[in-house]
Chain A
Amino acid sequence: GEDVEQSLFLSVREGDSSVINCTYTDSSSTYLYWYKQEPGAGLQLLTYIFSNMDMKQDQRLTVLLNKKDKHLSLRIADTQTGDSAIYFCAEKSYQKVTFGIGTKLQVIP
């Protein structure tokens, strides 16, 4: 079945760039997403990318997609303490969305 994998934890210093990586197995994915979950809250969509795109940039966020390797990354420039959260990678194929396990980003002041 479909599988989405992420590392569990990432720690960066405030002001540095963060890169969160994700791999997926479903070659029929149509959309790939990054969701953010702050403590005690539900998930909120941060950004998404169509499977026919290589890159999407939105302010401090850059999403890179390598469809050949089935690798998705999220880069956060100038990481702030408010970026501390769990980041979920997800992929959509047909009507199903599969979430990764989530990467906890810790920003050190």
Chain B
Amino acid sequence: IAGITQAPTSQILAAGRRMTLRCTQDMRHNAMYWYRQDLGLGLRLIHYSNTAGTTGKGEVPDGYSVSRANTDDFPLTLASAVPSQTSVYFCASSSTGGPVKVEQFFGPGTRLTVL
């Protein structure tokens, strides 16, 4: 693994189903993030984690949950998917501390369609 990976690449899901989007990074970054990207709305933060064992709510957390059991993994779960959750989901990570390490590294994205 090099950098940050997401799975699946794309998924079509029936409304009401449960779905977990996976995100893994091998850069030992403390902080991880989940964004959704929608046309005309840009990137919106769903949940974040500043370090393993802690999580926080972003701008649009409703309908989503996250966990951070270890440094590398940050799964995003939709407990009961709804069509408004159709979007492209990006996971990102960043190190904390120091001016050079403020960059967020993004995964390739998961395109989710809820019918």
Contact = CB atoms under 8 A, between A and B. Distances in A.
Interface of A: 8, 31, 33, 40-45, 48, 50, 88, 92, 95, 97, 99-102
Interface residues of B, number: 19
Give the one of B35, B41, B106, B108 with max A CB within 10 A.
Answer: B106
Contacts, number: 43
B102 to A, nearest CB: 5
A31 B106 contact: no
B37 to A, nearest CB: 8
A31 B102 CA distance: 8
B17 to A, nearest CB: 25
Interface string B78-108: 0000000000001010001001001111111
Given A97-B104, A100-B42, A101-B40, A31 B99 contact: yes
B103 A99 contact: no
A42 B109 contact: yes
B60 interface: no
A48 B100 CA distance: 10
A7 to B, nearest CB: 12
Nearest to A1: B59
